[in-house]
Structure 1
Amino acid sequence: MGSDPGFDRIDKISGFTGFLSELMTIDQLTEQVIGMAMEIHRVMGPGFNESIYHRSLEVELAAAGIPFESEVPINVFYKGKLVGKFEADMVITIGKRLLIELKSCEVIVKAHEVQVVNYLTATGIDDGLILNFGAPSLQFKHKNRLYRSRASSSEPLDLH
């Protein structure tokens, strides 16, 4: 990539496991990642390509000793057959894993949320975080694989 030989090493994975990162709850980890993203947004501002923010978050995670993988392949199966492939931007790989999807657009929309929930379903990871660097202020949204919203009707569904 660039002229910094150490940068290529964090290009795909950071394997250092810091003691504190091992003890974090998923909420603490999510808050720490959001704090890193806010710092990146404060320094860089909006408007860069998503890959710039991606690399910046890799630098922050590596500096904090939080192990992660970048550009993680996700296979989707139907009845045991591979039917599709996706790529998650990042997955933090300690304890309870956290999938991170980065955006650089005007606003987080429902399609971004559905994308992350689909990634969570395909991977079995419970928690996902959407970070949008494209707006004047950092936007973020936490998603959980296990949460399913109720139907719009207030009546319970009768499935029989």
Structure 2
Amino acid sequence: MTVLERDVLKILAEDARISHKKIAAMLSVDEAEIKACISDMEGRGVIVKYTAIINSEKADDALVEALIEVKVTPKKKEGFDGIAKQIATFPEVKAVYLMSGAYDLAVFLEDKTLQQVSRFVSERISTFDGVISTATHFILKKYKIEGSLTEKEDEDYRLSVQA
């Protein structure tokens, strides 16, 4: 990866809506070069998607979010990939990660109700051949999402001191 690509990615990670013209000015590079650089990274799959980070707690239609720990018996020839790819196809699933440690896959999902999340885990994930066990953790409150704090800090905040 080139220095230019790294610089462009850093800028886009902070604000994906920024124009090619502004990026070019920030990096003292021709706008056409920025456009070509971004297009190339999109084509190679370096840039996967442009999206808004939404704090669902403040949205009118807040969803129930959960982290599902999944223990798996890896299959011959495909290892963990087969089950991970199957789980990733469901629209409720927002992310799937292969993990080291006590469990194999971390599955982040969203649904409308606690019951729907529970049903998804019991009727879909748990039924896959090779799934040994699951543990569901419901997200109660978010403090930071994708590097951004969810609440602005109160400038007058002071710790109370008692004598």
- Identify whether the pair has TM-score above 0.5, normalized to the shorter chain: no
Report the TM-score when normalising by structure 1: 0.28
| Greater strand fraction, Structure 1 or Structure 2 | 1
Report the TM-score when normalising by structure 2: 0.28
The structure with the largest alpha-carbon Rg is 2
